[in-house]
Chain A
Amino acid sequence: SAVISQKPSRDICQRGTSLTIQCQVDSQVTMMFWYRQQPGQSLTLIATANQGSEATYESGFVIDKFPISRPNLTFSTLTVSNMSPEDSSIYLCSAGTANTGELFFGEGSRLTVL
């Protein structure tokens, strides 16, 4: 298994600003992903964080709005840029290995945009 640390755990931000969420995994993993979740609802995949290269974004998500870095196997960041109230959500970092398949999740970062 893997333990995933995410920070900040929550933040309140002003419209138009940007926030970077950090994700640290305690063991080497193959895959890292970023999801978005409205409280009590399902998870929507934002992107796959690729080590040393540009992230792979899902439909409806773009790099200018959600830039992602993954400089090594165990660390990734997600930035939510030029925030609006519609970006208020929980952002979840997840990681796993290709051969086992299951994902491990951080506790999430609850973002409120005023």
Chain B
Amino acid sequence: AQSVAQPEDQVNVAEGNPLTVKCTYSVSGNPYLFWYVQYPNRGLQFLLKYITGDNLVKGSYGFEAEFNKSQTSFHLKKPSALVSDSALYFCAVRDRTGGFKTIFGAGTRLFVKA
């Protein structure tokens, strides 16, 4: 069965510093991997995805993520954090082998301090 782990409940970073939000996954075969962001009292917004190709994928709002097959990781990164990046971030995985359903990690709350 597919699963996603986000080991950090919360990440704190100062504005202007780089940020990393960690994600590891377990799925049979090669997965589709996603990051979503949720602002207070809002639905989820798609940030970026890895389907195939270059291991470094770029997404919305300056975010990027690196797919590492050997470590089964897909960490979210941004070179310079903004206070407005403070939100709840979800890593998600979809199995390529037939099902379309997407499974979400527990979420990591990012606090960016001015």
Q: Which residues of A contact B (CB under 8 A)?
A: 1, 4, 6, 30-31, 33, 35, 40-43, 45, 48, 58, 92, 94, 96, 98, 101-108
Q: Which residues of B contact A (CB under 8 A)?
A: 32, 34, 36, 42-46, 49, 51, 88, 90, 94, 100-107, 109
Q: Given the known A-B contacts A43-B90, A92-B43, are A101 and B106 also in contact in the complex, defined by CB atoms under 8 Å?
A: no
Asked if A106 contacts B32 (CB within 8 A), the reply is: no
What residue of chain A has the Cβ atom nearest to residue B49's Cβ?
A102
Asked if A108 contacts B106 (CB within 8 A), the reply is: no
Given A43-B90, A101-B32, A105-B44, 17 more A-B residue pairs with CB atoms under 8 Å apart are A6-B43, A33-B101, A35-B104, A42-B104, A42-B105, A42-B107, A45-B103, A48-B101, A58-B101, A101-B34, A101-B49, A102-B46, A103-B44, A104-B46, A106-B43, A107-B42, A107-B43
Asked if B90 contacts A31 (CB within 8 A), the reply is: no
Question: In the complex, A26 Cα to B88 Cα: how many Å?
Answer: 26
A76 CB, min distance to chain B CBs, angstroms:
15
Asked if B43 contacts A30 (CB within 8 A), the reply is: no
Question: In the complex, A92 Cα to B45 Cα: how many Å?
Answer: 12
What residue of chain B has the Cβ atom nearest to residue A6's Cβ?
B43
Question: In the complex, A105 Cα to B46 Cα: how many Å?
Answer: 9
What residue of chain B has the Cβ atom nearest to residue A107's Cβ?
B43
Question: In the complex, A92 Cα to B104 Cα: how many Å?
Answer: 13
What residue of chain B has the Cβ atom nearest to residue A92's Cβ?
B43
Asked if B46 contacts A41 (CB within 8 A), the reply is: no
Asked if A103 contacts B43 (CB within 8 A), the reply is: no
